[in-house]
Structure 1
């Protein structure tokens, strides 16, 4: 048990910990939770075991294990910052004022201190004090100022200043900088005070299912629990596209502990669990979103991503097809189905799905749909139709670099209309000079036309901007080989092979061993 920690090392049986680690690695959350709970029983003071039990308890939604492990960690010399935040949420839910004050003092020393003015404001609101005073203190943190401003608006609604606070929220939304969650949270506060009409007026698209959602969500009174769950929702949303799944899981699980009705938290939790490999638990979380929820459609879409990440391709495609073909399906539904088909190299069907998306757009289809359809048709071997679709994309967006590059590159790779195609890519590069893919396209266009002096510097620049790109490094290797820089060519091909698929890898290994054969035949 090397590295397992002294307390665990002293236990007679460390098998529970080993089983937990194995289950954790396999993404078997339920088995891992049971094994970590057993390991924590065997080593109740071991911080390493407690940390793993805490993380796995959050993933599984096992509040008892999570809280027990968090308290072990809190008694140690260095409590992880998110553990203090989790325990604060427990204290807020349990209305333990002494623990709240102690934990907020701990949080003030760490990375989550930007939340404190807003939480203190809601604490003052609950206690009958001035809720706006904590929000008036100057701050050097842009994040803190953002949360302060938003919670000032929400507190305005809670304290009865509905016209001014609603106007401030609408004004912020009108600038394009406001988050739709802010308007919905404001509507929930109004619904909790019985102001149904004002709630529906504030919430964006507050019709049908959303009205029912406001009635359901409005059953709880706003206070610290409400505020902390919303702050966790906002932070988790900010992290949704970052490599921070562990923190996202903690924030969303904890937010749901404070507000079990918030389906927005479930969507973010399911996505984070899936990215962490806990696919079955992610699907179970999505299944908790009722059909009456306004987020039911989004839950179906997220479930497709979960299934795809889990390698359950046929299930994902079946679900995407059902969504794309159901009554009332949108252009976006068909586009998402096409994207999934294209990602799985089913290009004929993808092209048909994109055609459906274009038809549903009823004349307002954007250039992205035509680019996607053109690429799918090209990959399916329908060059003439592909060329027409790509030309339509450029007609719709003549200054869009991706549209220009895609049309130019497709022709360059076929050796047709070379001068005009190169001109398209040059325009794309002028518009977006820092894009490695477009820079590569231009360098490759020059190379295929024999202008190596201009090609090599561009390909080098592209490889520097995207060092993990298989295609760009292969192009650079071919160009190096052509000008006699054989050592550098093999180095570039080695770099290209790091993320290559089986077919690419075989081709690259032949080049590394024997050279490209024909210098211009990299693709």
Structure 2
């Protein structure tokens, strides 16, 4: 239950804006975004001039998807010059939806002045020109310091703008340039382009964008092949839709950097406000919400993607992640099994299932899933990461002999990959097998990635168990400095310090390890902190 703190010298009227605002702040802190949203909505209604309430309401509305509250809060913040920079994008999307081209242009001018998102301006202005009926291509100044950023998104939108005008000759090379810039399969972009091409009679070119052996693209490919209407009828994108795709792509790109906080989520939500009918945008938003710690909203957004639609498979994959992050692991695993069992299911679906099973400690099932993922590649082309996943599942499932064979194969494929070398080396050190060989693997891994605390710990522990205490202690101290909250690293350091007679420091390291330790590790650490080191208390 949420309890409101007392306010010194006064009671707080339960019907007041302050009471609602305080309830919203507490709900924020308790991870109850739905309650927080309702509280801020009430607070703003009771005190519409409060800038503190407006600011909180603005951010909560973007996280939760309350468009009306977001726009209302943005207007209040703007009146006092406190509108966050992404607020201008929110207002541009609203103007585009209303086809108020003059207001949209004025807001883009402000976007340029504010600078943060100025590199988007040429593309947005081009979409506005389409709405006005006199198309002008994106005018990117090559001398602008952010020109390279604008160019990253220009090809996709040149293609979409050309498709909207029916200019396939200009669209096709731009499509291929846009796809070449993306990392990975870019299934959502392929579906978007394929739908637009198919609607304009370019069936062959549309099908060429959709590989036959990809389950995520199968429904779209079947529809196009049978002459069925493409997703959303394949109508030319409106300026609001074009703007939305631009923001969603930017949101996905910047969210690979954790330092951006909720910015990616806010941009993706603004995109969904601008084009609420676009399933592709819901897929992006669901992913970012889940990864940002808002998995309940991730579930909500993923469920808005029609399972039998063109983007259904992508939406279902995001639903798996959101369900798992929400603690609904049984539902997540069941759905992941269904997706992995689909004809032509890609390696990613099997990896998703394998990862969930491994987290559920079904290591046998996880190993089978990772093997199924490998079957999607020719034998000589299996990625080392899939072998590492399988080897890890087998090792954790107490099938070390099989695991070692798989891990050694991974090391042959990727002899300079420190993650593989570390896993294979440390697993053998744990079992006191092939000690010299294992130590050599760990030295090589550390040389390749000297700043990785986990690898540094592995090498330090290997030096400890092989009797090289002079090397082990400083190596483990360096590992602990790099990961001060890591249970295993601090326990290893404590054991090594005890062995060299630094008993007080050893107990300090064990206490640090015990802060986050659980189960047998917690019991072992408590015992040796109290009694000192005994053979039965040694770390692995």
TM-score range, shorter chain: 0.7 to 0.9
Out of 36, 56, 63, the residue aligned to residue 60 of structure 2 is 56
Residue 475 of structure 1 pairs with residue 495 of structure 2: no
| Contact kept in structure 2, 1:188 and 1:199, CA below 8 Å | no
Out of 81, 89, 92, the residue aligned to residue 77 of structure 1 is 81
Map of 1:193-208 to 2, 5 A cutoff?
194-197=200-203, 200=206, 203-205=209-211, 208=218
SS at the partner of 2:230? helix
| Contact kept in structure 2, 1:481 and 1:519, CA below 8 Å | no
Cα separation, 2, equivalents of 1:160 and 1:350: 48
Out of 198, 216, 220, the residue aligned to residue 210 of structure 1 is 220
Q: Render the CA deviation track for 1:98-143: whole Å, top value 9, x for unaligned.
A: 4323422332214222211221232234335562363235211232
Change in 2 beyond 3 A, CA 1:164/1:491 = farther
Does 77-86 or 331-340 show the bigger shift? Answer: 331-340
Change in 2 beyond 3 A, CA 1:117/1:492 = farther
1:221 counterpart residue number: 236
Map of 1:212-291 to 2, 5 A cutoff?
215-217=230-232, 219-243=234-258, 244=260, 246-291=262-307
SS at the partner of 1:392? helix
2:442 counterpart residue number: 425
| Contact kept in structure 1, 2:24 and 2:36, CA below 8 Å | yes
5+ long unaligned stretches in structure 2: none
C-alpha deviation, 1:266, in angstroms: 0.9
Q: Render the CA deviation track for 1:398-433: whole Å, top value 9, x for unaligned.
A: 443322221221111111111122222233334434
SS at the partner of 1:135? coil
1:390 counterpart residue number: 407
C-alpha deviation, 1:48, in angstroms: 1.8
| Contact kept in structure 2, 1:183 and 1:202, CA below 8 Å | no
Q: TM-score, normalised by structure 1?
A: 0.86
Cα separation, 1, equivalents of 2:81 and 2:181: 46
5+ long unaligned stretches in structure 1: none
| Contact kept in structure 2, 1:184 and 1:202, CA below 8 Å | no
1:458 counterpart residue number: 475
Residue 139 of structure 1 pairs with residue 106 of structure 2: no
1:115 counterpart residue number: 120
Does 281-290 or 118-127 show the bigger shift? Answer: 118-127
Change in 2 beyond 3 A, CA 1:199/1:70 = farther
2:108 counterpart residue number: 104
Cα separation, 2, equivalents of 1:448 and 1:66: 59
Residue 298 of structure 1 pairs with residue 302 of structure 2: no
Out of 492, 503, 525, the residue aligned to residue 508 of structure 1 is 525
SS at the partner of 2:324? helix
Cα separation, 2, equivalents of 1:83 and 1:179: 32
2:423 counterpart residue number: 406
Out of 444, 449, 465, the residue aligned to residue 461 of structure 2 is 444
Change in 2 beyond 3 A, CA 1:271/1:177 = closer
| Contact kept in structure 1, 2:138 and 2:158, CA below 8 Å | no
C-alpha deviation, 1:264, in angstroms: 2.3
2:367 counterpart residue number: 351
2:96 counterpart residue number: 92
Q: Render the CA deviation track for 1:207-241: whole Å, top value 9, x for unaligned.
A: 65335598234554345323311111111111344
Cα separation, 1, equivalents of 2:368 and 2:527: 37
| Contact kept in structure 1, 2:155 and 2:177, CA below 8 Å | no
| Contact kept in structure 2, 1:308 and 1:316, CA below 8 Å | yes
1:36 counterpart residue number: 40
| Contact kept in structure 1, 2:421 and 2:444, CA below 8 Å | yes
Q: TM-score, normalised by structure 2?
A: 0.83
